[in-house]
Structure 1
């Protein structure tokens, strides 16, 4: 399985109260689990800076990762940037 990093920025219009974000996140998560069964969530981080969230996922099919990113955009009211990631040791061995 390949590893991908999904970087997300939340729209200011996505929620009024930060507590409402929990409901929004649960909705997006459930939608991805249902529609993208080939995507395995490895870890998620809230971050400070350019992006609000960093998700590390694995999938055999990049199309499912693309779909997951689009669900985050549509239902999570976010912008996303998705990166293919290679473990450092694998990267060095390929050189």
Structure 2
């Protein structure tokens, strides 16, 4: 399974309804399961991003479907990063010439 980090910023709608943010997070956890995606962590953050999610997904298509559904709700704008563990990176480095 691949790891994905999703950086989120509230939209105007999302910040107007900030009191529901933890309820929305629980709904995302349930939605993720429908795509075979595991929600590892959800953090509310200070700084350039409002929320950071960490997911584990079987493939890019499953993750893309989840993120498209999250975005379609209109509460956040997302930036998705594919992450590699140290073991993954060692495997990549082993393939270098």
- TM-score higher than 0.5: yes
Counterpart of 2:3? 3
1:51 maps onto 2:49 in alignment: yes
Counterpart of 1:39? 37
The 3-state SS of whatever aligns with 2:47 is coil
Corresponding residue pairs, total: 93
The alpha carbon displacement at 1:54 in A equals: 0.8
Unaligned runs of 5+ in 2: none
TM-score (norm 2): 0.77
From the two aligned structures, give the one with the greater helix fraction. Answer: 2
Unaligned runs of 5+ in 1: none
Counterpart of 1:94? 92
Please provide the CA RMSD for this pair: 2.0
